[in-house]
Amino acid sequence: MDDKNNQEENDLSKISEVELIKKITKSFRNTNKSTIIDIGDDAALLKFDKTNVTISQDILVEGVHFDLSYMPLKHLGYKSVIVNISDIISMNVKPSHILVSIAVSNRFKINALEELYEGINLACKNYNIDLIGGDTTSSNKGLMISVTCIGNTTTRKIIERGGAKVDDLLVVSGDLGAAYMGLQVLEREKNVFEVNPNSQPDLSRYTYCIQRQLKPEARLDVINYLEELKIIPTSMIDISDGLSTEINHLSSASGLSFHIVEDQIPISDNTKTICEEFKIDTSIASLNGGEDYELLFTTSKKNLKKIQQSNYLSVIGTCINKKNDNCMITSLGQKININSSGWDSFSVNN
């Protein structure tokens, strides 16, 4: 029995990514005064004199995070930058530099890698970012991309995950669930193609959701807009792993809970239509889908009128003085607990 328990404790599929990080980093202690925020937020924060420097890193692995049967390499290059700079932006900082490292097998040709870097270059141009280095090595299996992003500021307030206050509004940018439904369409068409390679699908009805999956954008415009309105978030995170997961991250960091209203979650008409086609509840897509790269933040309720005047900000809930009580109030008035059932790198269900 002891051996079985030990095996289960050492099984990666039995542990979440957050729990794993806590286990493998528990013995680390910071020794430099410049380290202000370390592991556990969207990005690390270093302070040098009057300058705050943020650093984040993400790895994308073929077969885990992307499928090249429907992901064009140029789109992949673009997306690999976006997922990283979104972490920097979610701390209210403008990204400025990236380093890109790749491990690639010999099944890829030089022109394929040039296509990948065309996408990286396009993202750099669109977000005014400099590519300053990285590494390239061989891989026995497929393609792996690691991007490190750096941002710095002397003026903007750094926003962490753990600053939410009682009665704060919970606000989200844009709309949710589109990237997840785009993925459902792409996976379905992949399966159809494997059965019938001559099939010619008409994907024009799915353009919005497919684009949200293949070529997302980071919401630099949102933090610029908040600055214009003089709205300072008390906490913030980007929605990469699903709304439910990110709500739980903010809740855990602040020691408070959030009550959200189902009917107030912004979902596009295009996403709703595809949800109906796939017989997937829209709330499931928005709560658990992930990869929307929208911003989720809390702010004082005094900012309500300013937020209501915006076309791309939605108040979806409030912060309450209670622990472990994150829930959604349905259209029928039912209270449903919100569990972190979004994307997790080590889940056997992904």
**CATH number of the CATH domain containing 286:** 3.90.650.10
Q: CA geometry: angle at 241 spanning 15 and 141, to 5°?
A: 70
Residue 27 lies in a domain: yes
Same domain, 213 and 320: yes
Which whole-number Å values give the CA distances from 23 to 12, 20, 339, in the listed order? 12, 5, 21
Rounded Cα distance, 83 and 248, in Å: 20
Looking at per-residue pLDDT, the higher value among 249 and 49 belongs to 249
Q: In what order do the strands lie in the sheet with 130-138?
A: 35-37, 44-48, 51-61, 143-153, 95-104, 130-138
Q: Are 295 and 238 in contact (CB under 8 A)?
A: yes
Tally of structural domains, the chain: 2
Q: Residue 145: which CATH number?
A: 3.30.1330.10
Rounded to whole angstroms, what are the CA distances from 191 to 109, 184, 217? 26, 11, 27
Distance between first and last Cα of the chain: 29
Give the residue numbers spanning the domain of 238.
Answer: 169-337
pLDDT at 286 over 90: yes
Can you give the pLDDT at residue 343? 41
The answer to whether position 301 is within a domain reads yes
Domain check: are 127 and 29 in the same one?
yes
Same domain as 323, residue 174? yes
> Which pLDDT tens digit goes with each residue over 238-272?
999 999 999 999 999 999 999 999 999 999 999 99
Q: Which of 153, 180, 196 is the last residue of a domain?
A: 153
Give the integer Cα–Cα distance in Å for 249 and 242.
Answer: 11
Question: Among residues 99, 120, 153, which one ends one of the domains?
Answer: 153
Residues 326 and 250 in one domain: yes
Q: Can you give the pTM of this predicted structure?
A: 0.85
Confidence of residue 345 (pLDDT cuts 50, 70, 90): very low
In a shared domain, residues 95 and 119: yes
- DSSP alpha helices (H): ranges in the chain? 2-9, 17-25, 73-89, 110-126, 178-195, 207-214, 220-229, 243-254, 269-278, 282-288, 304-308
- Does the residue 350 lie in any domain? no
Q: Which single residue is written with the structure tokens 């753990």?
A: 162
In a shared domain, residues 36 and 141:
yes
Tell me the pLDDT tens digit for each residue of 234-243: 999 999 999 9
What band does 65 get if pLDDT is binned at 50, 70 and 90?
very high
Domain boundary (119, 153, 187) is at 153
Residue 260 placed within a domain: yes
- My answer on whether 324 and 233 are in the same domain is yes
Q: Give CA–CA dist 257/321, Å, rounded.
A: 7
What type of residue sits at position 174?
G
Whole-angstrom distance, CA of residue 218 vs CA of residue 89 = 8
pLDDT at 55: 85
Residue 178 and residue 139 in one domain? no
Whether residue 189 sits in one domain with residue 132: no
Residue 130 lies in a domain: yes
Rounded CA-CA distance 340/16 in Å is 10
- 86 and 191 together in one domain: no
User: What is the C-alpha to C-alpha distance for residues 210 and 199, in angstroms, rounded to an integer?
Assistant: 18
229 shares its domain with 132? no
Q: What is the pLDDT of residues 109-122, one digit of tens each?
A: 999 999 999 999 99
- Are residue 234 and residue 328 in the same domain, yes or no? yes
